[in-house]
Amino acid sequence: MSGPRQGGARIAGAVMSLLVLLAGLVLIDMLGEAVAALAGAFGGGGLMGMLPPPLDRMMLPPPGLLWTPPGLAGIGVLALTVSVGLYGSVQAGTARLGALALLLAVALPLVAWNPLALGVIGAQALLLAFDRTGRATETLAQIARLCGMVVALLVSWSTPAALAVSLIAVALAPSAMVTLSRTVPGAPARAAAPDAEPEPEPEADPEPQPEPEPAPAPAPEPPAVPDHPATPDAPDRTAPGPFGHDPVAGLSHLTPAATLAATARAALAGGETPLLVLARLDGLAGIAEHLGAAGGEALFSEATARLAAALPAGSTLSWVGDETFGALMPDAGTTDLDGLMAALAAPFASEMVIEGRAISMEDALHVDAMVVDPDALVELDRWAGAAPG
């Protein structure tokens, strides 16, 4: 149900990013021409001036008009278009695409105005690359911005138009590069029926399950430790998963998956039409493995708390395995799906700080939704039987 909506959001984000690129290119050249006209110099039209006629004259007005009310209004409209495009790309979940468009919009005009400033932006990128942990990203961005503006001033002080364009470029480039360099979670996967087989030790399970009765059987195999825990779900507890030994225990905002299935069955029997929402946080397990057991458990707790807080009142949230969570809404007919998807994504627009590390899951959320019917109950029961905890 949410596939077409997510596809529409991606298209909207791409359109917004294209607006950022086109409006930004024209805006930078217009500002350069305006400064050149004010200084009584010949600007040359910048990147737009390199277009073949009559496109060059169509894209840029005569420099003398730029300081008139219509010219200033045009500059303001272009600046507003870039701002709205960036905001729209973030809301559509394509923040990195918008950042790339902004970086190209400020860097490409430098080919015509001041190629040396491209080297300054390259040096800014190298400086930002020193931060491997994400803890000092904002500080390094400020340093890169300050140093870039000083160097741009030194290499282009004699040409006012080139100086203005270079200062704008080196001031905006670090922010775009920070957005591009944020942690990219794993490859997108659809939130289909979760395979809840825990990856840590699949080979230890088959031995006890086919023949649980004969106790002597495991005796000749001393290395295969699975016989000392007698419970069937013991293999899941012998070693911590990426989120710790039992991340669900003690989290009041999560209910067992079996409870989710029972609640859905009771609602259906009572004549209600509940809605099941499957939310997948791509890359959550991979990041948790890098953080270790304690850090992974803290990440799991923070991410699920943000999901639970964004759900409508009366909803139930469960972990159904891997990186997938199921949420049951009381009534599908009264749920605004677009508003729900935006509400679920909103908490992840800000970074999570786990053990001093800034972690971005901004583009990691993928959501599917379905009205619960008898067929969906079969899937719910299957997931509940396989879900951890």
CA dist., res. 141 & res. 128, Å (int): 7
What fold, for 242-386?
A: Alpha-Beta Plaits (3.30.70)
φ/ψ (deg, to 5) at 242: -65, -20
Indicate the domain borders of the chain: 2-180, 242-386
Quote the pLDDT of residue 147: 92
Q: Quick one: which of 303, 296, 304 has its CA closest to 352?
A: 303
Quote the pLDDT of residue 100: 93
Q: Which tokens belong to 247?
A: 């991340």
Contact 124, 148 (CB under 8 A): yes
Q: Quick one: which of 72, 69, 71, 102 has its CA closest to 85?
A: 102
CA dist., res. 69 & res. 374, Å (int): 65
pLDDT in tens, the chain (389 residues): 445 566 677 898 899 999 999 999 988 988 888 888 787 776 666 777 777 777 766 777 777 787 888 889 989 999 999 999 999 888 887 888 999 999 999 999 888 888 888 999 999 899 888 776 555 677 888 898 899 899 988 887 778 888 888 999 999 999 888 888 765 444 343 333 444 444 444 454 444 455 555 555 454 444 443 343 333 333 343 455 677 656 776 788 888 878 888 888 888 888 888 888 888 888 888 888 888 878 888 888 899 899 889 888 888 888 887 788 888 887 765 567 778 888 888 888 888 888 888 888 888 888 888 888 887 778 777 766 655 54
Helix, strand, coil percentages in the chain from 3-state DSSP, rounded to 5 = 55, 10, 35
